Amino acid sequence: MNSNVQLVKTLLKYTFGLVPIVAGLDKFSNILTNWSQYISEGFAAMLPFEPITFMMIVGVIEIIAGVLVLTKTKIGAYVVSAWLVAIALTLIFSWNYVDVAVRDLVMAIGAFSLAKLSENKI
């Protein structure tokens, strides 16, 4: 069982480390998607700059969060979990992309699980 737990922990670590880095980098190129589409019109109107600039700032935060998961797994996993919950709540409150919000909540549970697994040496 111990080797299975270690395998799961390792898979989660690289998933929640590399995926945010890739998504963060993509905020600068929009190859995977047009990230600005996920910003509600009401929120975009409150921004002091263009939505694309906001998404680039988000990209930097995501890159840092991914690196944090890879280097300081427990702290990074808690950060990623909270970040995903914040994104999901924003989408739910705007009632846009609710399917993405549900997916992000499920991923937040996975990141939280990684944090809990990282509390003790396995």
CA distance 118 to 9: 8
Instruction: Flag whether pLDDT at 61 surpasses 60.
Output: yes
- For the segment 28-35, the average pLDDT, to the nearest whole number, is 93
Instruction: Flag whether pLDDT at 9 surpasses 70.
Output: yes
